[in-house]
A and B are shown apart, each in its own frame.
Chain A
């Protein structure tokens, strides 16, 4: 972008705006996923564990199961969900890394 014209400036601001909105969607997604992360581990596995123990799942006390099995499964799912959702966010805002090399070289 050598010649500074009006259109270039609007493009620049809209690009910055686009990035800002991308970042905010990212933060919202992080908030949701980390909420789940906290609930299954510190929530069900630790704080609520004693109360949950009155229920049972697959023959385990529920709180015990969350702490030694369940939370780990949820962790794995969370990362794959994150990876998928981010890929679609990347596409939506046009900031992904799966574009052709010509487009990439401009950034």
Chain B
């Protein structure tokens, strides 16, 4: 069977599975819709959380980014896993004890204020939408490359599937489809990683393989060989960082605290029966996530090594089939600067401007011709970082079914995260905005209807983002974390650990944290991008890491303002006492 046919088969049957689960687990009540009835087993919830968390960014882009920036890529590995420790120790058990449906619900009750609730809803929608847009790009890439359909058609198919199970099944449908999606995506990630690890080092465990010796008889370890090869081509060594320590520190912290403050992850812990289950479930979630996250750096180093081996100094006419396949999606390009018909790969941007634009003609060797100006760099090859994981099995020459599996895995990762995000957006709108603020008189049935409508509208908006990606989307996704760290995390943490924290403090803190972080990012990314370099940054901290400073600002302001204003009413202090002990936790209810 051809790879194309296999891909249709794999992706098609995974879709059939998700829809089947959706029909089987339809939501009958708001409780089913928001928190899956509150009776999810901790291991099941852990697996669903892992799928929810591992997005197209984790599955498709992360190893690619690490592959190209080497050691500096550690910020993503540390940041996106270390946040779970904070989540498990500082937030999840207490929010579970609180036992409501949404994150703004907690903020609204704990800070006895509708204004605080609305601020939280705004932060949530902002964070979640920037994030969901990135997922749709992932779906688009997979469809356009592997199924050779238009990106638009691909996004519409993806949206239709998400629509089926999130609008029908709510959290209940999403939970069980996410379990299936986790299995698909982790299998799809591990199989090629193990194959490639064996091919390069004879060691079947990728986590050990990328420290082991390359089996080419040179006696060098993978990383030493990679360092050497890259230095020869004019890159910096793979295992040496180029970012400043303070910037690495700030970015890692922003990603960690942001992870702990992400509403679509937090809400997953509302679905387990007990407080102790929430703690345990976070452990399982991280264990399931760690399988992929410890494999990713191995995949990254193998992929880079393979890439250099297959591309550098290869005549275009002899280039493997995958090169042409990806070239036709526009994610790879070659410009024969020295007219020798051979591809030279090296440091520096190959093209100016750096993204290729094709003029529609093919050159003498069959390559797609570009309208870009050549740069002074000897590098002739443009490679989009997002393709590394998807192209890896082809680069390594693995069989067609592995390639098809990776395509199904990429789609699973994107869809599972998109569904989780759409659910928190729709519940924030139907529950916090409508039921708790604007239309308190609606019945549960009507609220459920509004939740479904909100989910449907959110699916359509997300689809539009996928089809017409605004230029800034890709850049903004990483900032969702900074914004979550600077706005939601301090309000949640103080709400649990400080009885003195009051509404004035929390609102002031959230607004200042959000405004500061947003302004800093917007200034360097959109207003004055030419100034976006270490010399102009505050204390050498890049926009990616500024959320850490925003968070510290939020904390200081919240604490100081709380001290200067009246302490929270006794009922709220009793509530804090109550969430601090596990006993008496009831299933999430709508009070």
Chain A contacts to B: CB under 8 angstroms: 19, 22-23, 26, 30, 33-34, 37, 41-42, 45-47, 53, 57-61, 64-65, 67-69, 71-73, 75-76, 78-80, 82-83, 86-87, 90, 94-99, 104, 107
Contacts and interface: CB of A to CB of B under 8 A. Distances in A.
B582 A96 contact: yes
A64 B249 contact: no
A104 B587 CA distance: 13
Contacts, number: 138
Contacts of A87: 276
A26 to B, nearest CB: 8
Contact of A79 (B85, B245, B577, B584): B85
Given A67-B74, A82-B279, A72 B290 contact: yes
Nearest to A53: B239
Interface in B198-246: 207-208, 211-213, 221, 223, 239, 245
Nearest to B201: A59
B276 A86 contact: yes
A75 B88 CA distance: 10
Contacts of B297: 68-69
Given A45-B74, A67-B78, A68-B297, A79 B276 contact: no
B252 A46 contact: yes
Contact of A96 (B74, B90, B223, B276): B276
Contacts of B74: 45-46, 64, 67-68
A64 B71 contact: yes
Which has the most chain A C-beta neighbours within 10 Å: B207, B211, B212, B256? B211
B149 to A, nearest CB: 36
Which has the most chain B C-beta neighbours within 10 Å: A34, A41, A95? A41
Given A30-B89, A68-B77, A78-B85, A86 B279 contact: yes
B286 interface: yes
A30 B85 CA distance: 10
Interface string B244-271: 0100110011001000000000000000
B209 to A, nearest CB: 10
A57 B207 CA distance: 12
Contacts of B89: 30, 33-34, 78-79, 82
A82 B81 CA distance: 16
